[in-house]
Chain A
Amino acid sequence: MAITADHVRNKLTTGVGAVHVEVEDTTANRCATSFKVLVVSPEFEGKTLLQRQRMVNSCLSEELKDIHAFEQKTLTPEQWEKHKAQ
Chain B
Amino acid sequence: MSGLFRSVLRAVQVGAATCRPKNFDAHVSVVPARLFCASAGENDLGEMVKKDKVVVFMKGTPAQPMCGFSNAVVQILRMHGVENYASYNVLEDQDLRQGVKTFSNWPTIPQVFFNGEFVGGCDILLQMHQNGDLVEELKKLGIRSALLDVEKDEKSK
Contacts and interface: CB of A to CB of B under 8 A. Distances in A.
Asked if A and B are interacting partners, one says yes
Interface of A: 29-31, 49-50, 53-54, 57, 61, 64-65, 69-73
B68 A49 contact: no
B120 A70 contact: no
B124 interface: yes
The secondary-structure label for the interface of chain B is mixed
Nearest to A31: B67
Contacts of A69: 67, 69, 108
Interface string B33-74: 000000000000000000000000000000000011100000
B123 A72 contact: yes
Given A31-B67, A50-B118, A57 B107 contact: yes
A30 B68 contact: yes
Nearest to B120: A50
Interface residues of B, number: 16
Contacts of A57: 106-107
Contacts of B69: 30-31, 69, 71
Contact of A53 (B67, B68, B120, B128): B120
A54 B127 contact: no
A58 B68 CA distance: 24
Ranked nearest first, the 4 interchain pairs of A and B with the lowest CB-CB distance are A64-B107, A49-B124, A30-B68, A50-B120
Contacts of B119: 50
The secondary-structure label for the interface of chain A is mixed
A77 B120 CA distance: 22
Given A49-B128, A69-B69, A54 B123 contact: no
Contacts of B128: 49
B77 interface: no
Nearest to B118: A50
- A50, A61, A65, A73 — most chain B CB neighbours (10 Å): A50
Contacts of B120: 49-50, 53
A65 B118 CA distance: 21
Contacts of A30: 67-69
A31 B68 CA distance: 8
Nearest to A52: B124
B97 to A, nearest CB: 12
